[in-house]
């Protein structure tokens, strides 16, 4: 399994234990969460820890740069080290190889190919009963028997440790609390924290902190930030935006006016108009939850929701571009 592009996992002990527990019995485990939250890294580390359970090993299939669902079987074949077989389709090549094997298949970044991934995984689970699948994406595959684990931000101490490990300059003891504040302003999102740590090549810590009211601008891609596929924060959030329906994009933008939590009544009151009637808000909101754009708050007596600051900022930018909310 090639996980060389994933750096060491910092923290995530609770989530890692849960993934390992699920893989003991579940044949399909899907890690869901927002862009940049660390799903891929968690999946790779989990696979490294359990691959000895599988005599035929673990294979990683990266889909972030695949845009045509028809290519999925061929990409799977390449990840498995299989070549073209005249007279057989790529589906037949892959499924024939997997049948009878005991293997863990890690399918990373399924969200933009969710229907094709779901169909293919469903078939794999049927024809290869000893294969288990660990998938990642911003939404569930909705395949029978799927166990989904929502991946959230890091704990504050984990976020601090990640920043210090990635920082372009040494962090003094006097600056630790400033770094902690920076991590909290970024809501402990791993990708954002890594980008901020690299940005210290260009900006002093105090200046970086001062720019956190517009984090997508402050962490924009540049020569001081390593450029790798999937590591551009704005582009990652933009891909989430593209996966939403027009109604979901509209509600996303309008929900950005809520600085903190909100409930369904608030969303209906603030975000509805002729283009998005009040009785449509619930269904559209459910779509945003499914796509990891909106986070339902746990343990609330009345259902409440929120968006990560980075996600909300993208919505606010869209709202400004479109000329404001429903009453504008």
Q: What does the pLDDT profile of the chain (328 residues) look like in tens digits?
A: 655 445 578 889 999 999 999 999 999 999 999 999 999 999 999 999 999 999 999 999 999 999 999 999 999 999 999 998 888 999 999 999 999 899 999 999 999 999 999 999 999 999 999 999 999 999 999 999 999 999 999 999 999 999 999 997 889 999 999 999 999 999 999 999 999 999 998 999 999 999 998 999 898 877 666 655 556 888 899 999 999 999 999 999 999 999 999 999 999 999 999 999 999 999 999 999 999 999 998 876 788 999 999 999 999 999 999 876 665 5
**CA-to-CA separations, 106 to 118, 236, 323, in angstroms, rounded:** 13, 20, 42
| Token reading at 269 | 């009151």
With 0-12 / 13-18 / 19 or more C-beta atoms within 10 angstroms meaning exposed / middle / buried, residue 121 is buried
Q: Name the DSSP letter for residue 177.
A: H
- The confidence score (pLDDT) of residue 232 equals 83
Sign of CA dihedral 273, 276, 280, 281: negative
- Residue listed under structure tokens 């939590």: 261
> Which alpha helices (H) appear in 51-111, and where do they start and end?
72-79, 90-98
Nearest to 103 by CA among 84, 79, 83: 79
- Residue listed under structure tokens 């940049």: 36
**CA-to-CA separations, 291 to 98, 179, 263, in angstroms, rounded:** 30, 30, 18
- The confidence score (pLDDT) of residue 322 equals 82
- Residue listed under structure tokens 């994406």: 137
Question: Looking at the whole model, is its pTM more than 0.85?
Answer: yes
Per DSSP (E only), the strands in the chain are: 28-32, 58-62, 103-108, 131-137, 146-150, 262-263, 295-296, 304-306
Strand arrangement of the beta sheet that strand 28-32 belongs to: 58-62, 103-108, 131-137, 28-32, 146-150
Per DSSP (E only), the strands in 19-140 are: 28-32, 58-62, 103-108, 131-137
Nearest to 7 by CA among 267, 274, 278, 190: 190
Q: Which H/E stretch holds residue 244?
A: none
Strand partners, 150: 32
């Amino acid at each position: 399994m090639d996980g060389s592009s994933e750096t060491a996992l910092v923290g995530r002990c609770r989530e890692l234990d849960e993934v390992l527990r699920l893989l003991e019995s579940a044949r399909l485990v899907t890690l869901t969460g927002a862009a940049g939250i660390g799903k891929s890294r968690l999946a790779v580390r989990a696979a490294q820890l359990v691959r000895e359970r599988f005599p035929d090993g673990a294979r990683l299939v990266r889909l972030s740069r695949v845009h045509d669902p028809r290519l999925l079987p061929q990409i799977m074949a390449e990840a498995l080290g299989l070549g073209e077989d005249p007279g057989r389709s790529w589906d037949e090549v892959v499924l024939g190889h997997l049948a009878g094997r005991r293997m863990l298949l890690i399918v990373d970044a399924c969200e933009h190919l969710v229907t094709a991934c779901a169909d293919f995984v469903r078939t794999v689970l049927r024809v290869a009963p000893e294969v288990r699948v660990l998938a990642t994406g911003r939404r569930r595959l909705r395949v029978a028997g799927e166990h989904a684990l929502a991946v959230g931000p890091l704990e504050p101490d984990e976020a601090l440790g990640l920043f210090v490990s990635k920082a372009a300059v040494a962090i003094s003891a006097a600056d630790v609390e400033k770094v902690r504040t920076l991590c909290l302003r970024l809501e402990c999102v791993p990708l954002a924290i890594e980008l901020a740590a690299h940005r210290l090549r260009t900006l002093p810590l105090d200046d970086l902190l001062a720019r956190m009211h517009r984090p997508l601008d402050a962490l924009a891609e540049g020569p001081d930030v390593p450029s790798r596929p999937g590591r551009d924060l704005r582009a990652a959030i933009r891909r989430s935006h593209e996966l939403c329906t027009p109604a979901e994009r509209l509600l996303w933008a309008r929900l950005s006016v809520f600085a903190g939590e909100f409930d369904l009544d608030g969303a209906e009151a603030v975000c509805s108009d002729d283009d998005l009637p009040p009785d449509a808000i619930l269904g559209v909101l459910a779509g945003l939850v499914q796509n990891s754009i909106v986070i339902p708050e746990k343990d609330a007596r009345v259902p409440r929701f929120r968006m990560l600051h980075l996600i909300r900022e993208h919505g606010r930018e869209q709202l400004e571009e479109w000329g404001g909310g429903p009453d504008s």
